[in-house]
Amino acid sequence: MDKFPQNVILSGVSMISSTNHGGIIEHETLDSVKIGYFENSNLPLEIQETRCKRLINKHNECVYDDNVKLTRWRKLVYNATLNSVCTLTGVDVGRLELWGANDTITRKAMREVLEIAKSNGVEVPESTIEEMLGQMGFITHHMLVDIRKGNYIEVEVILGNAVRTAMRNGVVCPILTLIYNLLRVVQMRTKEAKGAITVPP
């Protein structure tokens, strides 16, 4: 918005749910993409809405999203917490839940996401937490799959941006901050393994 004050800025949130169980791909729910505009106060809202809707047609099955900021934060309630913790512990969400993480980690971390969203002007309903916790199959998240393949992980978008928003807005989020910093170490480990960095002898 600062760099492109006269542009319409769109945001797309995709949900994909497929998982590989021993070579068999299960496509658990239909994929979806929601697209909305990030309100730019320099432009009339109708223009932003029209431009956004122009992208949506019967071929791509995108859905117009009139509150994409809420959709983004809702997605993070799940992904900033479960995806990250599963990546650190090396288990799928089903095992994480089975072994007691609902109370000890997940709900607390999810509540922090709600607080950060609120500081960003977005009220994510409290009920989202139980809703997300209720949908956990034995799914291995993409960041964990990336670790297993020796790839980099998208920790900055999944967690880094949320933690930075918290710092800017003075929100205390000890659990997410710790998870984020642990994952950054994991990312450095991958960098070293790929030869992208070296450590002093």
Ligand X SMILES: *[C@@H]1O[C@H](CO)[C@@H](O)[C@H](O)[C@H]1NC(C)=O
> By CB under 6 A, is residue 153 in contact with ligand X?
no
CA distances from 1 to 30, 37, 123, 161 (A): 32, 12, 22, 16
- Taking the complex as a whole, how short is the minimal distance between the CB of residue 26 and ligand X, in angstroms? 14
- Taking the complex as a whole, how short is the minimal distance between the CB of residue 84 and ligand X, in angstroms? 11
Tell me whether residue 1 or residue 16 sits nearer to ligand X (CB atom): 16
Q: Determine the residue type at 109.
A: A
Q: Which of 35, 80, 133, 153 binds ligand X (CB under 6 A)?
A: 133
- Taking the complex as a whole, how short is the minimal distance between the CB of residue 7 and ligand X, in angstroms? 24
- Taking the complex as a whole, how short is the minimal distance between the CB of residue 79 and ligand X, in angstroms? 4
Backbone angles phi, psi at 10, to 5 degrees: -105, 155
CA distance 165 to 117: 9
Q: Which of 26, 123, 130, 192 binds ligand X (CB under 6 A)?
A: 130
- Taking the complex as a whole, how short is the minimal distance between the CB of residue 18 and ligand X, in angstroms? 9
DSSP H or E run through 21: strand 9-21
Tell me whether residue 48 or residue 158 sits nearer to ligand X (CB atom): 158
CA distance 94 to 29: 17
Interface residues for ligand X in 75-114 (CB under 6 A)? 75, 78-79, 83, 97-98, 102
Q: Under rule CB under 6 A, how many of the chain's residues touch ligand X?
A: 14
DSSP for 30-50, written as a single string: EEEEEEEEE--TTS-HHHHHH
Could you tell me if 158 and 84 are in contact, meaning their C-beta atoms sit under 8 angstroms apart?
yes
Contacts with ligand X by CB under 6 A lie at 15-17, 75, 78-79, 83, 97-98, 102, 130, 133-134, 142
